[in-house]
Structure 1
Amino acid sequence: MTQHQADYEIGSGNVFADLDLADAKELQFKADIAARIIGTIDLLGLNQTEAGKRMNLPQARVSALYNGKFFNISEKKLMECLNRLGYDIEISIKPSNHSIGQLTFSAA
């Protein structure tokens, strides 16, 4: 029996950066918010129609979120959806250790 070399490599933690997309940080930020929205909808036991009404989105847009299609929804709209699902959002601005600042998502 021979040992095979692994056919994979460890990702950076940002699949969009791993795919060399120019706006990878922004896409990861939106993906993190979308994941929190989906998790909250599930936690609240809402169906897509109920969630859409609560977030002021058509059911088709909620379905798109569940299918990873959040590219045409702004960060502001995604944060508004979180507000409508019962989350407070706090934006913190501080000096960066990098030449260009970072956009990050953290949840309590």
Structure 2
Amino acid sequence: MNTPEIIDKISIEAGSDHAYADLGRPDAGEMIVKAGLVLEIALALKSRRLTQQRAAELLGISQPKLSDLLRGKFRGISQAKMIEYLNRLGYDVDIVVRKNTRRTPGQTQVLIA
């Protein structure tokens, strides 16, 4: 089969910057928040140059569970637990609640200071 023919038949659709919503996930909002928290955990671990084993001990989880977390497998880990991990890494996490000015449901996001 000729490769250009295959490429002509592939449909490409531009996505947004919210991959979970693009995939139609019902828990898209929660997953994007968790992804932001995991990113910050990963950056904290990298900056401290910890091995996964040492980092897992510090966070109070197994090394395989930490490996899964860092590879994006975090469905079974709550946002509260991720915040606890950041606290154990020496990060303060502030939760700010404010009324939105739109006439739509509110949203949750991770903002890194």
The two structures share one fold, judged by TM-score above 0.5: yes
Q: In 2 relative to 1, CA 10–59 (structure 1 residues): closer, same or farther, beyond 3 Å?
A: same
Identity across matched positions, percent: 35
1:53 aligns with 2:54: no
| Distance in 2 of aligned mates of 1:106 and 1:55 | 22
Aligned pairs for 1:1-108 within 5 A? 8-96=12-100, 97-108=102-113
5+ residue gaps, structure 2 = 1-6
Could you list the structure 1 runs, at least 4 aligned residues long, displaced by more than 6 angstroms after superposition.
Answer: none
User: Alpha carbon RMSD of aligned pairs, Å?
Assistant: 1.7
Query: Shift of the alpha carbon at 1:43?
Result: 1.0
Query: Shift of the alpha carbon at 1:68?
Result: 0.9
Query: Shift of the alpha carbon at 1:25?
Result: 0.7
Does the 8 A contact of 1:38 with 1:65 survive in 2?
A: no
| Distance in 2 of aligned mates of 1:75 and 1:28 | 11
| Distance in 1 of aligned mates of 2:99 and 2:33 | 19
- Aligned residue for 2:110, secondary structure, equals coil
What amino acid is aligned across from residue 30 of structure 1 in structure 2? K
Query: When the two structures are superposed, what TM-score results if normalisation uses the length of structure 1?
Result: 0.89
| Distance in 1 of aligned mates of 2:71 and 2:103 | 34
5+ residue gaps, structure 1 = none
